[in-house]
Structure 1
């Protein structure tokens, strides 16, 4: 192995795709595939043992999803760079994973040259953050426009609060989920509404969905370790308002 080779770990639950991707990556003399994982938990375990420079991560995997796996991977030392490769081009998902610290986001229709470029860029720029100029995105143009619009208007925290609003959580429930005070949640919402041109929770939800900042899947998918619970069943909007104190 050459000293300058980039150590890559692959994580994808589709065996044929993962193995084929590994073989193609190995054709680049600057890359060494050091391991392969079929789920997020295995990816974290292997990354801890193998210390890869770059982890190529699928979004939908069993045992542990991409978001939880990313959070654990990015706490390792040395910290690997994360290149997300997935079939999903949902703007809200792109934004969410970039905000977590992904170095690149590519759809699976991307070319091998684009993937190789993303791996090299990620390895050579170790200090990138959300929306950093070094972040590589290979997604449909409209998806990229929606991601950029959302990033310009709202912070990652504001988008997170907006997601909980869309799921029907009261201010009190959001404050508990995010470990913030209700006053802080109200202040965030008071800032969000005029910025996106709305005056109510319902309008904010419709705006977020129509602009692609959130997807229907985001709003309805409340399962998994990376998602916090929805409001209790049987609670009407009036009861939630009484309990949570909405602006």
Structure 2
């Protein structure tokens, strides 16, 4: 059974979402809250598999709540469910650690698939968001990558280091073993000729990673 926490400041929308998910086999709504602060307060006790997170809420927004939730509970998957489909919102959510992004108004099958995929450790995006991502990266594919001495995986590890994730958190995020992450971190230090994480993070930010 996949346990889901709903985070949205509109009670009517939460009620509709709860009703929709109640008809899906293998999914149960563990609880619902109306703010990022409330989500962080209950997630440790509830231990949901997936959090459906709105972005725009009073107080702590969904991006900040996602970032803290993922740092403190890296095994819990966050899927953003939002009205916003602009690049800034999508990439801010991804940088914070969201494992999916679905627009409000999505069909039932799409939403259920997003919950199931996130629970299985996949990254999932609604069709509109996926098309936006493809277009974005297609426009960048010919550009030289930041810090070209690093492999793609090493750049991913460095980017997560820059988000202040620990090695175990990076391992959970990328689905790697702790030893593999340690090896990647060591390779990053060697290739960038730095002595510690702080220097590596500085190099990453200078490169716009």
| TM-score using structure 2 length | 0.65
Shift of 1:53: 0.6
1:61 corresponding residue in structure 2: 57
CA contact (8 A) 1:103 1:122 kept: yes
List per-residue Cα deviations over 1:88-130 (Å, max 9, x = no partner): 11123212212322111001131111010010011112xxxxx
Distance of 1:150 and 1:60 partners within structure 2:
28
Structure whose alpha-carbon radius of gyration is higher? 1
Moved more, 145-154 or 92-101: 145-154
Distance 1:187 1:37, change over 3 A: closer
Root mean square deviation, CA, Å:
2.9
2:133 to 117, 126, 144: 144
> 1:77/1:145 Cα in 2 relative to 1: closer, same or farther (>3 Å)?
closer
Cα distance between partner residues in 1 of 2:54 and 2:89: 12
Which residue number corresponds to residue 51 of structure 1?
47
**Secondary structure at 2:106's aligned position in 1?**
coil
1:20 aligns with 2:16: yes
Contact 2:64/2:96, CA 8 A, preserved across alignment: no
Paired residue secondary structure (2:25) = coil
Structure with higher helix content: 2
Partner of 2:123: 135
Unpaired stretches in structure 2, ≥5 consecutive residues? 147-155, 163-197
The one of 120, 123, 129 equivalent to 1:124 is 120
Q: Which has the higher mean CA deviation after the structures are superposed, 6-15 or 68-77? A: 68-77
2:8 and 2:34 in contact (8 A); partners too: yes
Give TM-score, length-normalised by structure 1. 0.56
Gaps of 5+ in 1: 126-133, 161-178, 193-247
Report how far residue 142 of structure 1 moved: 4.8
Following the alignment from structure 1 to structure 2, what is the Cα–Cα distance between the partners of residues 10 and 77? 16
- Where does residue 194 of structure 2 map in the other structure? none
Within 5 Å, give how 1:188-203 maps onto structure 2: 188=207
Aligned residues: 157
In structure 2, the residue corresponding to 1:99 is in which secondary structure? helix
Say which is worse superposed, 142-151 or 22-31, in terms of deviation: 142-151
Alpha-carbon offset, residue 66 of structure 1: 1.0
Distance 2:112 2:35 in 1: 22
Distance 1:104-1:35 versus aligned 2 partners, 3 A rule: same
Q: Retained in 2: the 8 A contact 1:83–1:122?
A: yes
